[in-house]
Structure 1
Amino acid sequence: MTRTHWASVTAVVLALLFAGAATVASAGDGERSGPATPSTTSAEAGFARDMSVHHQQAVEMSFIVRDRTKDEAVRSLAYDIANTQANQRGMMQGWLDLWGLPKVEADAEPMAWMAGAAGDGHAGHSAAEAGEGALMPGMATKAQLERLGKLSGRAAEIEYLQLMIVHHNGGVAMARGCVELCTVETERDLARGMVTGQRSEVELMVGMLAKRGAQVRT
């Protein structure tokens, strides 16, 4: 097993412990506590499912660039992103297991759970912001992933950084939705951490692009 795989397994175990504590706490909390067990159509479940998919692609892109460049700064960033997001994905998958909810809802439109977020209309996220061929805002298309896998050296570094900045920005928007709509405090705390962490990494990546004479992709 790789270190990332071990981290994912550990994250699932921790998720079950944290989610159990969160469920007990939510049963006794006040106004913002919400239901003890989220429903399959809840913001909690929707966020856990959609962000798991979002994170999985970030891990995939990070592994691709790791093998396409020898630049230590990019490889270190890619490892950090892969490790962090694999851990977070494991936690979210663990919550779904604990809640007895499916990890995939075949009939659910991605990010439909965000419809109630202030200023975050569902239609805007799923249609206008998601690029053609992308499942959710920020996610790369199959063609973009294939292109990344064919590049090497500086070209691969630039492509990865450009794709990951867009990816992180899409993830931040989704995490903000959970901060507003999710009622399980442990999950909201994770979402807050995602906003802070991914914003910081975006700033870092913008600087790395500038050093390579490239700009953020719009």
Structure 2
Amino acid sequence: MKRRDWLIGAVAGAVLAAGGITAAVASTDGSSGSSGVAGAPSSTSADAGFARDMAVHHQQAVEMSYVIRDRTKNAEIRRLAYDIAQTQANQRGMMLGWLDLWELPKVPPGEPMEWMDMTGVPSAGDGSLMPGMATNAQMKRLGELNGKQAEIFYLKLMTAHHKGGIHMAQGCVERCDVAVERRLAQGMVESQESEVKLMADLLKARGAKP
């Protein structure tokens, strides 16, 4: 599959997913948010914060997966990257769709992650936007490597990325009021924990550690 076709498929899936959850979120019980939409969470709520921050977090995972797809011919790594890109593009579409439905801004009113405690969660490196996210320098480096070196670097970056994402998703499970959002967050925890284990095996097979 060509990169253009892959990108079109991911974007189309995100649009369809965002549309599909509108009715479920619209029926959410709760107090009116700052947007004035009945039942919508406020702009400073955990629900809005998680949707905004995880959408950004997911976007980088999608970008990393596009990069590694062009830096290796290994079928197993390319399949993993494709699965991550498809899944997270679709989930990102859902979260952006919720923010549109709630008539809330996609840019946080303050700093990222103010809706939950991220104490003790390491960043992928100094200068990363959120815990687990790669820095610009790390993203640039990924795009410069090839073959096994690129695979190892991608797996390490994505492992850190998933661990940060898991902590964020657990935060939503504990703090979010919108039931469908909590269910999505719980699904993220379970799927990304499984992928972390898979990536540990893939790194071990390449003589590397997470």
Superposition RMSD in Å: 1.9
2:186 matched to 1:192? yes
- CA gap 1:50/1:70 in 2 versus in 1, 3 angstroms: same
In structure 2, which of residues 100, 103, 125 is the aligned counterpart of residue 100 of structure 1? 103
Counterpart position of 2:58: 55
- Displacement of 1:102 in angstroms is 1.1
5+ residue gaps, structure 1, are 28-34, 115-120
AA aligned to 2:86 is N
Q: Is the alpha carbon distance of 1:17 and 1:203 closer, same or farther for their aligned partners in structure 2, counting shifts above 3 Å?
A: same
Asked if 1:173 corresponds to 2:185, the answer is no
2:17/2:90 contact within 8 Å kept: no
CA distance in 2, matches of 1:167, 1:150: 19
Q: Structure 1 pair 210/19, CA: closer, same or farther in 2 (3 Å)?
A: same
Alignment of 1:67-86 (within 5 A): 67-86=70-89
The 8 Å contact of residues 26 and 101 in structure 2, kept in 1 or not, is answered as no
Flag the structure with higher helix content: 1
Q: Deviations over 1:37-75 (max 9, x none)?
A: 011111111000100110000001001000000000000
Structure 2 residue corresponding to 1:38, chosen from 33, 38, 41: 41
Q: Deviations over 1:152-204 (max 9, x none)?
A: 00000000001100000000000000000001111001000000000000000
For 1:211 and 1:185, locate their aligned partners in 2 and report how far apart those are by CA, in whole Å.
40
Decide which of 86, 94, 98 is 1:91's aligned counterpart: 94
8 A Cα contact 2:14 2:91, kept in partner: yes
Rounded to whole Å, the distance in 2 between the matches of 1:210 and 1:10 is 33
Indicate the SS of the match to 1:154.
helix
TM-score (norm 1): 0.86
**Are residues 1:135 and 2:139 paired?**
no
Q: Give runs of aligned pairs for residues 119-134 of structure 1, distance below 5 A.
A: 121-122=117-118, 124=119, 129-130=122-123, 131-134=125-128
Using the TM superposition, give the Cα deviation of residue 103 of structure 1 relative to its aligned residue in structure 2, in angstroms: 1.1
Identical amino acids, percent of aligned pairs: 58
Is the contact made by 2:14 and 2:90 (CA closer than 8 Å) also made in structure 1? yes
Query: Take 2:23 and 2:184, find their aligned partners in 1: how far apart are those partners?
Result: 15
Pairs within 5 Å for 1:195-210: 195-210=189-204
Which residue pairs with 1:26 in the alignment?
29
Which is further off, 128-137 or 15-24?
15-24
Mark the CA change 1:192 to 1:211 in structure 2 (over 3 Å): closer, same or farther: same
1:3 & 1:63 partners in 2: Cα distance? 9
Rounded Cα–Cα distance in structure 2 between residues aligned with 1:98 and 1:8:
19
Runs of at least 5 residues in structure 2 that lack an aligned partner in the other structure = 31-37
Cα distance in 2 for residues equivalent to 1:38 and 1:53? 19
Aligned partners of 1:4 and 1:82 also within 8 Å: no
Choose the corresponding residue for 2:209, options 195, 209, 215: 215
Q: By how many angstroms is 1:25 displaced? A: 4.0
Q: Which moved more, 1:12-21 or 1:69-78?
A: 12-21
Q: In structure 1, give the amino acid aligned to 2:180.
A: T
Tell me the matched-pair count: 200
